[in-house]
């Protein structure tokens, strides 16, 4: 008998989705470090042993096997960081993981994005803290735009070339605009909060709202409209939950 060859790899992955398949099996969707967003079948995935492991936000070690690379394949998984249970008592964290998963689904399946994986892992470690998670999720949305080929230029003013006093972003070019150059058209500009252009700056006032307005505009324009979809409800629920949480921890 001729042995049947199989494809196989081992990687770390973050659970971003799981669906029941049959009575007890599951289709598991992971964002993996080296193999991108990748699906596979987990036998017994909805059983009592594996169901707590296959929760969105958890990190697992995964072995994927299939006859051919284009097949769905099978996962064997082992929990590494079971953080999902800590999200249940925090509304913004619950909405946050669903929003982050939706962002990952904007990426082509099986397309590696190691830098995004590392940033996602870092966000999940602090997702239950609204003060920390709010600005990093805005930055993450900017990084998703960049990984999809629509990065914004926030380093220099598009009109003057200056790197100082950048407070606007042009909705047409996606490039920063200085206060003096943009003031005559301020009502048409998107606001650029300081925490997006200065590494050590902390959000103040309406900075978080301005940051989400900025990223939401360009996600819609460059990514979502071409696919015939809009910003998801999970994002709106996450932002609303942050707005409720932030005053209480100020």
Asked if 38 contacts 78 with a C-beta cutoff of 8 angstroms, the reply is no
pLDDT given for residue 199 in this prediction? 81
Asked if 15 contacts 56 with a C-beta cutoff of 8 angstroms, the reply is yes
Among residues 67, 82, 97, the one where a domain terminates is: 82
- Provide the 3-class DSSP secondary structure of residue 129: coil
Going edge to edge, which strands form the sheet with 190-191? 176-178, 166-169, 190-191
**196, 201, 119, 19 alpha-carbon torsion, rounded to 10°:** -70
Task: Supply the range of the domain harboring residue 127.
Answer: 87-154+192-249
Asked if 114 contacts 79 with a C-beta cutoff of 8 angstroms, the reply is no
**Could you tell me if 199 and 227 lie in one domain?**
yes
Q: Is residue 168 part of a domain?
A: no
**3 vs 177: which has the higher pLDDT:** 177
Q: Cα separations (Å) of 54 from 47, 85, 86, 200?
A: 10, 11, 14, 35
Q: Say how far apart CA 141 and CA 17 lie, in whole Å.
A: 19
- Provide the 3-class DSSP secondary structure of residue 180: helix
Among residues 50, 82, 114, the one where a domain terminates is: 82
pLDDT digits (tens, 9 = 90+) for 107-163: 999 999 999 999 999 999 999 999 999 999 999 999 999 999 999 999 999 999 999
In the structure, what pLDDT confidence band is assigned to residue 5 with cuts at 50, 70 and 90? low
**Could you tell me if 112 and 39 lie in one domain?**
no
Ramachandran angles phi, psi of 74, nearest 5°: -120, 140
Read off the pLDDT of each residue in 224-229 and give the average, rounded to a whole number: 95
Ramachandran angles phi, psi of 71, nearest 5°: -75, 160
**Could you tell me if 149 and 201 lie in one domain?**
yes
Q: Angle, nearest 10°, between helix axes 130-147 and 233-249? A: 150
Beta bridge mates, 187: none
Read off the pLDDT of each residue in 48-72 and give the average, rounded to a whole number: 95
């Amino acid at each position: 008998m001729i042995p049947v060859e199989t494809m196989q790899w081992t990687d770390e992955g973050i659970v971003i989705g799981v669906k029941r398949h049959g009575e007890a099996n599951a289709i598991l969707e992971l964002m993996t470090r080296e193999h991108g967003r990748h699906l596979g079948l987990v036998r017994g995935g909805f059983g009592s042993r594996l169901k707590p492991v296959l929760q969105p936000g958890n990190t697992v070690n995964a072995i994927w096997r299939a006859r051919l690379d284009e097949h769905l394949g099978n996962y064997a998984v082992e929990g590494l960081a079971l953080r999902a249970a800590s999200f249940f008592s925090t509304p913004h964290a619950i909405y946050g993981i669903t929003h982050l998963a939706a962002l990952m689904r904007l990426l082509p399946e099986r397309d590696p994005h190691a830098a995004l994986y590392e940033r996602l892992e870092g966000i999940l470690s602090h997702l239950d803290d609204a003060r920390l998670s709010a600005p990093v999720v805005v930055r993450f949305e900017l990084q998703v735009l960049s990984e999809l080929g629509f990065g914004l230029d926030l380093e220099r003013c598009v009109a003057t070339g200056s790197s100082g006093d950048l407070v606007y972003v042009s909705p047409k070019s996606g490039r920063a605009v200085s206060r003096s150059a943009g003031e005559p058209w301020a009502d048409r500009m998107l606001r650029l909060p300081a925490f997006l252009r200065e590494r050590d700056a902390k959000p103040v006032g309406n900075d978080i709202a301005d940051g989400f307005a900025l990223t939401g505009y360009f996600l819609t324009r460059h990514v979502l409209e071409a696919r015939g979809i809009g910003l998801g409800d999970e994002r709106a629920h996450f932002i609303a939950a942050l707005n409720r949480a932030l005053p209480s921890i100020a």
